[in-house]
Amino acid sequence: MATLISNQFKLDLAKLEQNALIELFEVDLRGLKDADGINGEVYRFYAGKNELSQPIVWQEKTYQPFGADASGFEMSGQGPSNRPTLTLANLNGTLTVLCNRFDQCLGGIVRRRLVYMHYLDAVNFTSGNKQADPTQEAVSYFVIEQLSSLKRDVAQFTLALPSETDNALIGARLITETCCWLYRGVECGYTGRAVADEKDQPTTDPKKDKCSGLLSGCKLRNNTHNYGGFVSVNKLG
pLDDT digits (tens, 9 = 90+) for 74-84: 654 444 446 89
At 19, the pLDDT band (50, 70, 90 cuts) reads: low
At 126, the pLDDT band (50, 70, 90 cuts) reads: confident
Contact between 93 and 5 under an 8 Å Cβ cutoff? The reply is no
Q: Is the pLDDT of residue 177 over 70?
A: no
At 128, the pLDDT band (50, 70, 90 cuts) reads: confident
Classify residue 171 by burial, with Cβ atoms within 10 Å: 0-12, 13-18, 19+: buried
Domain residue limits, the chain = 7-174, 177-237
Q: Look at residue 237 and give its three-state secondary structure.
A: coil
Determine which helix (DSSP H) or strand (DSSP E) holds 215, and give its type and residue range: helix 215-220
Q: What is the pTM of this model?
A: 0.64
Q: What is the pLDDT of residue 233?
A: 41
Q: What is the pLDDT of residue 234?
A: 41
Please list the residues that pair with 170 across neighbouring strands: 173
